[in-house]
Amino acid sequence: MFPALTALTFGAFAFTITLWVTRFAAIPLPSERLARLNRNGPDAAADQQGPGLRRRANVSFGGINLVSANLVAKWNVQLERAGLTLNAREYLIMRIVVGVAAMAIVFFLIPTPVVAILAAPAGFLAVGFWVNLRVGSRRRKLEAQLVELLQMIASGLRAGFGLLQALESASEQLPAPLSVEIRRTMRDTAIGASVDQALQGLNERVGSPDFDIVITAILIQRSVGGNLAEILDNVAHTMRERERIRGEIRTLTSQQRMTGFVIGGIPVGLGLAFMLISPEFMKLLFTDSLGHYVLGAAAVMECLGFFVISRIVKIEV
């Protein structure tokens, strides 16, 4: 078992080093980049360096793309919204390393090749699940700060500031992560992007319906005119009412959510109780290959049931 574990560990290390080296090998020389810019023209270069999401390198090995361009673009959006500084290639390396490490750990604990092989894709997918959790957590933090931002912008506009001045003043008073996003928006305008392009880039990076409403209202006001301070006050009032309704819904569905936790925890609790009462009886689940399949099927059904209950009690406002 230990030789196999050592081989898997060294194999994962060698694969990681190889991908890391090829990352730097794929960086074009200055002469090659200049030739490409001359071939495509300055307009093409400007399109590739817009104020939206940061453009990251493709995931390639020896000139062969390992991941499709659509998937790389999706990963770029997720990494931006999660607040991570990884590029797509580093993200793929991390997922592969975690998958191999999960396979090695499971093979060390349960020396069954089938179970260990199944642990590799589970570890690979677990990294994506973690990134999605970071995306949701960061989006909720941004949305929680949005009403305060709108009030600051509206107050600044009434005091005679312009929109950019009000945004800059708000970024100095708000904590992260919203202050970071506003500074990135101000930086986009400082390097030549229009206000509309910078706001659209902010909307793309955040990926929140609330931000989409606010930025759409600002863009419409800039096109047709109107009192922007009053518009932002109305939007802030609407969002406060939505948050109040969300709180009432969470209160009304608290019993159903607790029921889901209890139902999901009963099998786990019974398994632990049987292990304490009759260890020999439960030992077969961990020593016999059929027991491993039973435990795997039980874990899958537990996760599926918890997911279904969570979707039932989740009500969008």
Q: What is the pLDDT of residues 280-292, one digit of tens each?
A: 888 888 888 888 8
Q: Tell me, yes or no, whether 190 and 167 share the same domain.
A: yes
Q: What is the per-residue pLDDT for 61?
A: 59
Q: Tell me, yes or no, whether 145 and 267 share the same domain.
A: no
Q: What is the per-residue pLDDT for 45?
A: 37
Q: Tell me, yes or no, whether 204 and 94 share the same domain.
A: no
List, in order, residues 6 or more apart from 105 with CB less than 8 Å away.
119
Q: What percentage of the chain has pLDDT greater than the value 90?
A: 39
Q: Token digits for 209?
A: 């319906």
pTM for this entry: 0.69
Residue entry with tokens 């453009």:
55
Q: Which domain holds residue 201?
A: 139-247
List, in order, residues 6 or more apart from 232 with CB less than 8 Å away.
150, 151, 153, 154, 157, 214, 217, 218
Q: Tell me, yes or no, whether 15 and 121 share the same domain.
A: yes
Q: Tell me, yes or no, whether 174 and 101 share the same domain.
A: no
What amino acid occupies position 2? F
E-strand stretches of 47-178: 60-61, 64-65
CA distance 232 to 239: 10
Q: pLDDT digit string (tens) for 298-312? A: 888 888 888 888 788
Q: Tell me, yes or no, whether 171 and 98 share the same domain.
A: no
Choosing from 197, 217, 247, the residue where a domain stops is 247
Domain containing residue 235: CATH number: 1.20.81.30
Q: Tell me, yes or no, whether 154 and 62 share the same domain.
A: no
Q: Tell me, yes or no, whether 104 and 144 share the same domain.
A: no
- Residue bearing the bigger pLDDT, 32 or 155: 155
Tell me how many domains the chain contains: 3
Query: Is the pLDDT score of 255 beyond 90?
Result: no
Q: Tell me, yes or no, whether 25 and 69 share the same domain.
A: yes
Q: Tell me, yes or no, whether 80 and 110 share the same domain.
A: yes
Q: Tell me, yes or no, whether 227 and 287 share the same domain.
A: no
Choosing from 247, 271, 305, the residue where a domain stops is 247
Q: Virtual CA dihedral for 227, 230, 235, 237, nearest 10 degrees?
A: -170
Choosing from 135, 168, 194, the residue where a domain stops is 135
Q: Tell me, yes or no, whether 44 and 66 share the same domain.
A: yes
